[in-house]
Amino acid sequence: MSARSIATRYFDAWNQHDADAIVATFAPGGRYSDPTTGGPLHGAAIGENAARLWSSLPDLAFEVTSIADTDDGAVVAEWIMRGTNHGSMLGLPPTGKSVELPGIDVVRFDGDAIASVTGYFDGGVLPRQLGLQITVQPHALGPFTFGRATAVEGQPGRVPTTFTVTQLRAADPAEQDRVVERSRQIVMELCEQPAFIGWVGVVVADRMITLTAWDDAEAAKLSLRDGTHKEAMREFFSGTLGDGGYTSVWATDRMNAAWVRCPACQAMINHASRSGVCTCGATLPDVPAYF
């Protein structure tokens, strides 16, 4: 079988969404890598990587626009990957947007099987096309570790009396994606609860932390025992989710007044004490959400 035919069979398996067929094109010990894999993948991990991409882009397809043999026996394939984001990506809800990613694969062979596939493309194209922010920052610098955060802002004027804090450590990036998706489902359920005020989720290295504001302590406690949160706790204790963590409920000791700056005289004013009107007579901005 020619090298070009093997490479074509590999791309056909991608377009058929057949993870086993993709893996079957590789020789024992064969490897796959691209800018998103964090290093070479081997065996079943190659198929799992493809399956994660299909779950985010269910109609994903590759168009091979050119393919050529090299002098050292490799094949270079230029392609365009297209798909529509109908599934969660990076733990975020689907956007419904279409993406188009150009790239190149260098395919090397071991007999009638693939020894390696190395993909080259701009890893920022998909996030930008999906409307996602791209922040360039180190993973760690000295005593500091960096990550990302998401917030659901509460309604102005509602004062938190209770906070729930959770922390979970993920075993690997794939598990971290599962936890992020679980968190998204939990927050969607919390938004339906009258006592819920707001939520912040933080991911730093393998640490995943959530902080939720409530105006009723009992409702906060009950939230840990119902719905998707209850299911996630069951997975945690059964050994199928996370390497460790905790949940907790915190009562507010003191919540000071909300201050706003007057747009006319620039004075900082206690909004509640002035009933929304500055001492200069100007109307004050709306009080910001406490959380």
The structural domains of the chain, ordered by start, are: 3-129 (3.10.450.50), 141-251 (3.30.70.100)
pLDDT in tens, 90-129: 667 788 999 999 999 999 999 999 999 999 999 888 888 9
Tokens 């922010």, located at residue: 133
pLDDT given for residue 134 in this prediction? 66
pLDDT given for residue 184 in this prediction? 83
pLDDT given for residue 225 in this prediction? 79
pLDDT in tens, 125-179: 888 898 876 676 777 888 888 888 888 887 777 889 999 999 999 888 778 888 8
pLDDT in tens, 173-213: 778 888 888 888 888 888 888 899 999 999 888 899 999 99
pLDDT given for residue 91 in this prediction? 66
Q: Bridge-partner residues for 149, per DSSP?
A: 202
The pLDDT confidence band at residue 281, using thresholds 50, 70 and 90, is very high
pLDDT in tens, 67-82: 999 999 999 999 999 9
Mean pLDDT of 240-255: 88
pLDDT given for residue 9 in this prediction? 96
Q: How far apart are CA 12 and CA 271, in angstroms?
A: 64
Of 183, 255, 251, 254, the residue nearest 218 (C-alpha) = 251
The pLDDT confidence band at residue 33, using thresholds 50, 70 and 90, is very high
Instruction: Name the residue with higher pLDDT: 250 or 289.
Output: 250
Pairing of strands 140-141, 162-169: unpaired
Return mean pLDDT, the chain.
Answer: 90
3-state SS record for 125-151: HHHHHCCCCCCCCCCEECCEECEEEEE
Dmax of the chain from CA atoms? 85
Pairing of strands 113-120, 26-33: parallel
Structure tokens at 266: 């620039």
Mean pLDDT of 243-258: 89
